[in-house]
Amino acid sequence: MAQSFLLNHRSPDRVSESSPDPYPPTFLHPNILAPTLPDGVGVNIHFTDAQPGEMKVLAASGVGWIRTDLVWLRTEVQRGKYDFSAYDRLLNSLAAYNLRAVLILDYGNPLYDQSFSPRTDAGRQAFARWAVAAVEHFQGRGIIWEMYNEPNIKPFWSPQPNVDDYIKLAATVGEAIHRTYPREIMIGPALAGSIDQPGRLAFLEACFKSGLLKYWSAVSIHPYRITHPETVNEEYRQLRLLIAKYAPQGRQIPIISGEWGYPSSTVWKNAKVISPATQAKFLARQWLNNLAHGIPLSLWYDWQNDGHNPQDPEHNFGLIEYSDPKQKQGVYRPKPAYLAAQTFNRNLAGFQFNKRLAVGQVDDYVLLFNKNNAVQLVAWTSNPSPHVIQIPTSAGLFRVIDHLGQSSTLLTAKDKGLTLTLTDAPQYLIPTAANPLLQLAAAWETLPLDLSRSAAQQSAITLSLKNPLTQAIQIKTNSQTATVQPNQRVSLASIFSLSRSRAILPVRLEWQIQGLGTLTQSTDILIANPLQVTFLPLAVDKLTAVIRNPAGQRYREKPASSTLWD
């Protein structure tokens, strides 16, 4: 398994509490922003001791990570005495298969605070002592330590969710761990549910405003939903902007999808039915869409079904069917979702996500991955109706593998590119020979997901490209033309007009490569000085518009009036 996800973890000496920190608060390695797969995906488990043969089946799915609870009450049964032997066994079994762990520091303990989540100074200090003991025991093993699980909902935070109590606990634990083991990685808060639900964004903002981001290397959320995976995208944008508002200076703090899945159940919320086939499509689309939106780690819920009842959603989140632990030898029956995970990891192993190409409609997804000069595409649509698109590529053959890895065909790209029928199931498109246009697309600087700009008559977006080909190329944008020699880097601008009439402006960039085709990608411009226009109800023959100018920047209406709007 590739090891680019985190800093290399050698075992550091414990830092004396009286000595200054020799390192700043730990942050994730820059490669977290572009993980080499399968470093970017994993599953949640509910065991410390696997059934016979189970770890082999889990590892064969290709995932790089597991996430599980490190339960306080099970590891401190006498005050001040800690027993991590069950987790020693788990970590050893993971290491045998090159799997890495996210361990959740969580829940109450009957020895403190009446089994409730820590809510007194004494309870918080006891939790922090236990957490530091766990980190000391497992330090240097590349573990990600997560601060609690779903503290914003019952029953996980008891007796009632309380953001102030959570912040006090997280700050106490964060300070204790980073004071003594500053190289260890902490994340939080493992927020439950979609952040567009009432109170959830406020919970996160309270955490960030209190300063918890100085301890956390990433923000973890659990964006469950009954709608398709791509509906999460606007929530990711809101959270990115909120993190940027409160992040310590110079820190880029990513979002982690720490727990999220779909149950292959006959009964779910709002009478929604997710078939095993749909669950498999959603797994691949969730992982792919997360990578396209800067989410470097996606942990699917769940590894194994929790029971046999097809009408109980909680029994049906797994990649494999339920295996009765009473059996001497586990029987592991892969579901279609397991095959989707295996296909994802098998085809993209060693690759990094490069960029989303702006091809087709807004709900059409064409993702480009690269491994040095090797490139491949993954394509699907969130539109339920299959339809044909044309992907700009150089001429040549493409091997097409379905999302379950069970069929492989060849398609021929012609001079204008590859014609493909998109469906709601991802297809892996692998060139059988070097593809110059896709190599140039991979060498082209990737646009951020969004850019903040003030509206003006003209605004420039400048991107660079280093020519990876053995011949010179000519590039034309909407404002510049350049000839680029092999291995030469060039930066070129594209010019756009930005209006104050909307807060978010989608922008599509095209670079024409003479004789090869067109490179395309898009971004959203966040207008920093938008106008807000509200139309009042029609009165007789008069339509009244109320214009608000929240940015306070002077605006001149044009061309009929010289009225100034302040």
DSSP assignment of 415-448? TTBEEEEE-SS-EEEEESS--HHHHHHHHBPPPP
pLDDT tens digits, one per residue of 113-122: 999 999 999 9
Mean pLDDT, rounded, for 327-354: 92
Looking at residue 327, its pLDDT comes to: 73
Supply the mean pLDDT for the chain: 89
Lowest mean pLDDT among 8-22, 132-146, 467-481: 8-22
pLDDT confidence of 552, banded at 50, 70, 90?
Answer: low
pLDDT surpasses 60 at 5 = no
pLDDT confidence of 545, banded at 50, 70, 90?
Answer: low
Looking at residue 551, its pLDDT comes to: 59
Long-range contacts of 156-163 (CB under 8 A, 24+ apart): 156/106, 156/107, 156/117, 156/192, 157/117, 158/108, 158/115, 158/116, 158/117, 159/116, 162/119, 163/202, 163/203, 163/206, 163/207
How much is the pTM? 0.90
pLDDT tens digits, one per residue of 380-411: 999 999 999 999 999 999 999 999 998 889 99
Looking at residue 3, its pLDDT comes to: 35
Determine contact, residues 174/184, Cβ cutoff 8 Å.
no
Mean pLDDT, rounded, for 500-512: 87
Q: Which of the two residues, 508 and 532, has the higher pLDDT score?
A: 508
Q: Which of 290, 223, 204 is nearest to 261 (CA)?
A: 223
pLDDT surpasses 90 at 49 = yes
Query: Rounded to whole angstroms, how far apart are CA atoms 552 and 173?
Result: 43
- In the chain the domains, ranked by start, together with CATH numbers, are 31-350 (3.20.20.80), 353-438 (2.60.40.1180), 444-527 (2.60.40.2310), 532-565 (no CATH)
Looking at residue 562, its pLDDT comes to: 33
Looking at residue 33, its pLDDT comes to: 61
pLDDT confidence of 556, banded at 50, 70, 90?
Answer: low
Mean pLDDT, rounded, for 486-498: 93
Looking at residue 324, its pLDDT comes to: 82
List Cβ neighbours of 188 (8 Å cut-off, separation of 6 or more).
146, 147, 148, 170, 207, 212, 215, 216, 219, 220
pLDDT surpasses 80 at 345 = yes
Looking at residue 181, its pLDDT comes to: 94
Looking at residue 7, its pLDDT comes to: 30
pLDDT surpasses 50 at 2 = no
Percent of the chain past pLDDT 70, that is, above it, reads 87
161: three-class secondary structure by DSSP = coil
Mean pLDDT, rounded, for 157-162: 96
Cα pseudo-dihedral 167, 168, 170, 174, rounded to 10: 130
pLDDT surpasses 50 at 29 = no
Looking at residue 27, its pLDDT comes to: 43
pLDDT tens digits, one per residue of 412-431: 999 899 999 999 999 999 99
pLDDT surpasses 90 at 364 = yes
Looking at residue 564, its pLDDT comes to: 33
Looking at residue 534, its pLDDT comes to: 64
Looking at residue 9, its pLDDT comes to: 31
pLDDT surpasses 50 at 320 = yes
pLDDT surpasses 90 at 331 = no
Mean pLDDT, rounded, for 368-391: 96
Looking at residue 15, its pLDDT comes to: 41
